[in-house]
């Protein structure tokens, strides 16, 4: 793949050309020249776009695509196209398919579905067989097949001894164990944050305590085992404090937060819109502020869209019975820019790669072209026309966003909207 990018502003603090507006020549998938002006040497494809900015490709540590088994929600090929259109060059795929991805063959299957794609897919294997929280899955075999972490998606490991054994066993091959932060006996049948809003709306409450107890438990077990832990999608102020303390003790722990938990609160549930039914639930403004501060000071290592397509049959029902989940790839950049500057947004969207074994390429001559292309200044109302996912369950529909993505250049391929 050869291309010439014209008049692009580079947003990459590790680049020699950070904040400069330049031309970028790409030959055979690698950046061969960066200069103020480059003439097209061999009539290569030229990329000229309005207010074009480029950064390192973005990474999402938690996406779900449905396939195999839930193809009505999404398929891997279209999910990767959605990621590319949204500026992501790498995604970690959750194991919540049917059957659950819990074996060498399963990892091989999903990797084969992503072959020769511009977006690199990094499969996460289930931590336990069938994600049933009873017996460990084939962790070492899945590692050999290409699994980058182990996680029973949105299913807590209830047995603390099982979590202890998982951390001890995985440490033999530097495996990354993920633990969903929810104590199920406390959360019970709760579908919304336990607060004044859940009481007024008559919705069963899922208290912050349920998350914080599980986080505290897992951090105690981590300290005992000296393992390697990732806590996905935390949502409360106390969780941030607990993880901050653990990091000060030099425990090998990272965590993420879903973008929607930074922006929306449980006030959004007034209309019983099931697109706002997510797990962990939307919390309070105080929690949002603490999560944002946690990102700023480095306590929270990465954001995720927690992209989870759910078909209309499972969303257009009573709130209590609707499935959890929202899509988020398409709205990620525009939503983040309502909280952070462009520079900080890009920094956050490119964090977390090393934790999941994702390679990084800076925007310098001689490096592989792994680029997100975007216009950071465009304001627009997010609507169905911006959604390329098969499922349309986005809580950002109708929201004012800032920043438009054009696509990516990665893996020797160009994907533009």
Q: Which residues are catalytic?
A: 306
Burial of 156 (0-12, 13-18, 19+ CB in 10 A): buried
DSSP type of residue 326:
B
Q: Tokens standing for 190?
A: 């709760």
Give the C-alpha separation, 393 to 398, whole Å. 12
Q: What is the DSSP letter of 119?
A: S
Q: How far is CA 198 from CA 191, 272, 285, 292, in A?
A: 9, 11, 15, 24
Contacts of 54 by beta carbon, 8 Å cutoff, 6+ apart:
5, 8, 9, 10, 11, 12, 24, 363, 371, 372, 373, 374
Query: If you write DSSP's letter for every residue of 227-251 in order, what string do you get?
Result: --EEE-----HHHHHHHHHHHHTT-
CA distance 349 to 117: 20
Omega cis (within 30) before 68: yes
**CB-facing half-sphere around the CA of 228: CA atoms within 13 A:** 14
Sign of CA dihedral 265, 325, 58, 229: positive
| Residues 6 or more apart whose Cβ sits within 8 Å of residue 195 | 205, 266, 283, 284
Encoded tokens for 81: 């196209």
For residues 319 and 203, is the Cβ–Cβ distance under 8 A?
yes
What is the torsion angle, in degrees rounded to the nearest 10, for the CA atoms of residue 42, residue 44, residue 49 and residue 53?
-90
Rounded to whole angstroms, the Cα distance separating 202 from 372 reads 44
């Amino acid at each position: 793949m050869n291309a010439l990018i014209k008049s692009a502003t580079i947003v990459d603090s590790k680049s020699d050309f950070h904040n400069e507006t330049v031309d970028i020549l790409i030959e055979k998938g690698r950046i061969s020249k960066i200069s103020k002006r480059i003439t097209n040497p061999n009539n290569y494809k030229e990329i000229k776009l309005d207010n074009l900015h480029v950064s390192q490709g973005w990474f999402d540590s938690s996406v779900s695509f449905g396939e195999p088994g839930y193809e009505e929600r999404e398929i891997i090929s279209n999910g990767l196209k959605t990621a590319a259109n949204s500026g992501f060059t790498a995604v970690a795929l959750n194991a919540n398919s049917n059957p659950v991805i819990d074996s060498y063959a399963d990892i091989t299957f999903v990797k084969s579905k992503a072959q020769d794609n511009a977006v690199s897919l990094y499969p996460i294997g289930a931590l336990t067989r069938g994600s049933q929280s009873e017996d460990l899955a084939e962790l070492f075999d899945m590692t050999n097949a290409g699994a980058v972490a182990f996680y029973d998606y949105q299913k807590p490991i209830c047995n603390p001894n099982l979590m202890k054994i998982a951390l001890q066993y995985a440490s033999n091959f530097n495996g990354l164990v993920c633990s969903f932060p929810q104590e199920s006996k406390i959360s019970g049948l709760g579908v919304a944050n336990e607060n004044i809003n859940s009481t007024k709306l008559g919705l069963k409450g899922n208290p912050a305590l349920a998350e914080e107890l599980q986080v505290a438990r897992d951090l105690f077990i981590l300290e005992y085992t000296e393992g390697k832990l990732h806590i996905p999608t935390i949502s409360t102020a106390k969780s941030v404090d607990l993880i901050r303390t653990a990091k000060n003790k030099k425990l090998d722990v990272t965590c993420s937060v879903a973008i929607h938990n930074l922006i929306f609160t449980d006030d959004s549930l007034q209309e019983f819109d099931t697109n706002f039914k997510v797990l962990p639930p939307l919390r309070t403004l105080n929690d949002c502020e603490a999560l944002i501060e946690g990102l700023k000071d480095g306590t929270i290592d990465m954001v995720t869209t927690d992209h989870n397509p759910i078909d209309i049959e499972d969303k257009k029902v009573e709130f209590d019975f609707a499935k959890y989940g929202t899509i988020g790839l398409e709205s990620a950049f525009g939503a983040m820019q309502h909280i952070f500057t462009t520079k900080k947004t890009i920094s956050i969207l490119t964090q977390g790669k090393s934790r999941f074994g994702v390679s990084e390429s800076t925007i310098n001559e001689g490096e592989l072209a792994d680029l997100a292309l975007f216009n950071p200044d465009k304001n627009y109302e997010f609507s169905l026309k911006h959604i390329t996912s098969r499922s349309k369950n986005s809580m950002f529909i109708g929201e004012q966003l800032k920043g438009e993505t054009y696509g990516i250049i990665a893996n020797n391929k160009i994907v533009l909207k």
